[in-house]
Amino acid sequence: MELSDKYLFEHKGFSFVRDLVTAEYIEALEDFEIRDSDVFLVTYPKSGTIWTQQILSLIYHEGHRDGTENIDLIDRVPWLEYNINHMDYVNRASPRLFATHLPYYLVPKGLRSGRTKVIYVARNPKDVCVSLYYFSKFSVKLEEIEDFNSFMERFLAGKLVASSWLDHIEGWSAHRDDFNILFLTYEEMKKDLKSAILKICNFLGKRLTDKVVDAIVDKASMANMRVDRRTNYKQMSPELLDFSKGSFLRKGIIGDWKNLMTVAQSERFDCVFKERMEKLPFKFCWDNKDDL
Ligand code: A3P
């Protein structure tokens, strides 16, 4: 199965959106200077990135909590490899918050100092696959694959943006000792957001009052993020996203895969993923029956 080269290109075994970055830029990131106070949010796409971007920005900035800072989420916690708004990352004030989908072996070397904090958010891959399927319709920069079965086969083969879900999580997990890293799952955030936020605060060494934590829980809810134009990504250029075809904050539930995958597709998914997934030190929740 070939990578769709109109939309994506591969660099060192990882696929990137062609129109948004170059191999030279990715190569240069290796030497991007890291500060101890930086925080990196790492995800495979559709695993709860913007949700955690919002949480991090709320933890660090009162102005986002009380709404006095009028800064879009993408500029609060910009993408390292996709510098869409051409920000000056080098001269940004500390603490710099970044999001990235990069695999462990392509991130800036300085991250291996063990001082800079890295948060990896994982989500059950069936929901990731379904979310990415809908996102591909909505994103102008990704190929739309109408037939879900064909899309799923591409996902299982790792022939989509960000390559293989399994490679991504296995790589970060196997190299966890090289980084100062906290692993979280989308599902644990869904089930108990306050506890997940406290876990993040604890990892970051941030002591916030109960009232502030409650305010973060509230501001990071799906309902509030959806209506806030700073956090719903509706400010993004129509050259990137076609809002007639979807939205970044789509359903936000555990187990939406059950609404799209047939039993046969789910079994096929298990067959390809099960063995390697069983070796991962994560417990995924697949069902929406415990959903909040
Ligand atoms: P769905 O498409 O399943 O709804 P990413 O930010 O990594 O691209 O992930 C997007 C997914 O996270 C989407 O999943 C989106 O709805 C979900 N999401 C975003 N904000 C959320 C929130 N506040 N609560 C729960 N899910 C959220």
Per-residue pLDDT tens digits for 30-81: 999 999 999 999 999 999 999 999 999 999 998 888 888 889 999 999 999 9
* pLDDT greater than 50 at residue 291: no
Asked whether 49 lines ligand 1 (CB < 6 A), one says: yes
204-208, 218-222, 282-286: least confident range: 282-286
Query: From the CA of 61, how far away is ligand 1's center (Å)?
Result: 22
Which listed residue (11, 86, 101, 168) is catalytic? 101
Asked whether 131 lines ligand 1 (CB < 6 A), one says: yes
* pLDDT greater than 80 at residue 166: yes
* Placement of tokens 């170059």 in the chain: 22
With pLDDT > 70 as the criterion, what percentage of the chain qualifies? 97
Per-residue pLDDT tens digits for 219-263: 999 999 999 988 888 888 889 999 889 888 999 999 999 999 999
Q: Can you tell me the distance from the alpha carbon of 112 to that of 176, in angstroms, rounded to the nearest whole number?
A: 10
Helices (H), the chain: 23-29, 49-60, 62-65, 73-76, 125-138, 148-157, 165-174, 186-191, 193-204, 210-219, 222-227, 263-278
User: pLDDT-derived band of residue 292, with 50, 70 and 90 as boundaries?
Assistant: very low
**pTM to 2 decimals?**
0.96
Q: Which two tokens stand for residue 4?
A: 């769709």
pLDDT, position 177: 97
Q: Can you tell me the distance from the alpha carbon of 96 to that of 104, in angstroms, rounded to the nearest whole number?
A: 19
Strand-strand pairing, 97-100 and 117-122? unpaired
Q: Can you tell me the distance from the alpha carbon of 23 to that of 222, in angstroms, rounded to the nearest whole number?
A: 35
Residue of 193, 248, 254, 285 best suited for mutating to test ligand 1, as the one with most atoms within 8 Å of CB? 248
Q: Can you tell me the distance from the alpha carbon of 276 to that of 166, in angstroms, rounded to the nearest whole number?
A: 8
With pLDDT > 90 as the criterion, what percentage of the chain qualifies? 85
What average pLDDT does the segment 178-200 reach? 97
pLDDT, position 247: 87
**Terminal CA-CA length for the chain:** 39
CATH classification of 8-124+164-238, choosing from 3.40.50.300, 2.40.50.140, 1.10.3720.10, 1.10.1240.10? 3.40.50.300
pLDDT, position 2: 52
**Active site includes 61?**
no
61-65, 105-109, 134-138, 288-292: least confident range: 288-292
Pick the residue whose CA is nearest to atom 25 on ligand 1: 252
Asked whether 43 lines ligand 1 (CB < 6 A), one says: yes
Write the single-letter amino acid at 91: N
Residue of 44, 127, 131, 218 best suited for mutating to test ligand 1, as the one with most atoms within 8 Å of CB? 131
Pick the residue whose CA is nearest to atom 14 on ligand 1: 252
Query: From the CA of 248, how far away is ligand 1's center (Å)?
Result: 7
Domain boundaries along the sequence of the chain: 8-124+164-238
Query: From the CA of 28, how far away is ligand 1's center (Å)?
Result: 30
**Peptide bond connecting 95 to the previous residue in cis, omega within 30 degrees of 0:** yes
Pick the residue whose CA is nearest to atom 20 on ligand 1: 51
